Amino acid sequence: MIPLKDLIKLITMALEIFSRARRQPQKPAPVKRSQGSSPARSHKAAPSTNCCDRVAPVKGGLARRFFRTILAVVQIFILYQAALRLLRRYLKFPAPAFIGRFLDSGYRRRMQPPALLIERSGAQKGMTILEIGCGSGAYTPWFARAVGETGRVYALDIQPGMLKQIRRKLEQPENQDIQNLQVTAGSAYELPFENESLDMVYMVTVFQEIPDKARTLKEVRRVLKRRGVLAISEFLPDPDYPWVTTTVRMGKEGGFRVDDVNGNLWNYTVRFKKG
């Protein structure tokens, strides 16, 4: 969770950008005085025959418009983020199922590639893995392929609307090769698995959405084998995105030790191990 003072900084920054963009002076297009013209004639702004006189102001205008558009986009993004983060701070509810199609998009996977998440989490052939909060399945098939025929992936989510989407995705012809994936309805608070039965549990942009984190971590510890892995991945555009230090602190408080921290501000994974 991003602290309130940082949120206020974000909003102030957005407003500052906005007011600066508005304050930009609208310079009049320069009028070039042609050589030899008398002062009396020059202020009449006779039409110029020089090509550059006409092109330069247009170029300046385009650059200014481009700059202002970029500023507007940045400003909208910051305000949107600040508003959503404020809302999420006081209202905790699972990400609505209708955003499933945006989560499971090629555009998102370009920014947060599945191969990167697999590598950072340490998923390997033969592992038995649980994904908590699989959503519409943006990453699940990739993990299923990574563990191979000898491994198994369980995809769990609390919302029927999300489970419907991942099931539909798995019915698609391109996913018919996946035979080791089981979709399960359930809550992170009561995982339907035996004690010490899993090699890895992973969550992608989920952990901060769950109100009782201590209870979730306790349950994850229960189902993980000794030295089992918990991999938590976060992505900046998610309104619940926490600083990496928050994720590390919460994992440690939940009794895990940090095995690896990988990525950047935009998208990172913290890999924990059960001691």
Ligand X SMILES: C[S@@+](CC[C@H](N)C(=O)[O-])C[C@H]1O[C@@H](n2cnc3c(N)ncnc32)[C@H](O)[C@@H]1O
Residues of this chain that bind ligand X (CB under 6 A):
94-95, 103, 132-135, 138, 156-159, 162, 187-188, 204-206, 209-210
Q: Among residues 55 and 83, whose Cβ is nearest to ligand X?
A: 83
Q: Among residues 64 and 108, whose Cβ is nearest to ligand X?
A: 108
Alpha-helical runs (H) found in the chain: 4-23, 39-42, 51-90, 100-103, 106-111, 114-121, 140-147, 160-171, 213-223, 244-253
**Residue 95 vs residues 100, 219, 272: alpha-carbon distances, Å:** 9, 21, 25
Query: Which has the closest alpha carbon to 262: 136, 137, 120, 141?
Result: 120
User: In one letter, which amino acid is 41?
Assistant: R
Mapped onto helix, strand or coil, the DSSP state of residue 229 is: strand
Contact 10, 81 (CB under 8 A): yes
In sequence order, the 6+-apart residues with CB closer than 8 A to the CB of 132 are 156, 188, 191, 201, 202, 203, 206, 216, 220
Least distance (Å) from ligand X to the CB of residue 133? 3
Q: What do you get for the CA distance between the two ends of the chain, in Å?
A: 26
Least distance (Å) from ligand X to the CB of residue 81? 15
Least distance (Å) from ligand X to the CB of residue 92? 9
Least distance (Å) from ligand X to the CB of residue 99? 7
Least distance (Å) from ligand X to the CB of residue 137? 8
Least distance (Å) from ligand X to the CB of residue 105? 9
Q: Among residues 14 and 181, whose Cβ is nearest to ligand X?
A: 181
Distance CA 128, CA 224 (A): 10
**Per this entry, what is the length of the chain?**
275
Q: Among residues 75 and 205, whose Cβ is nearest to ligand X?
A: 205
Q: Among residues 103 and 201, whose Cβ is nearest to ligand X?
A: 103
Q: Among residues 136 and 180, whose Cβ is nearest to ligand X?
A: 136
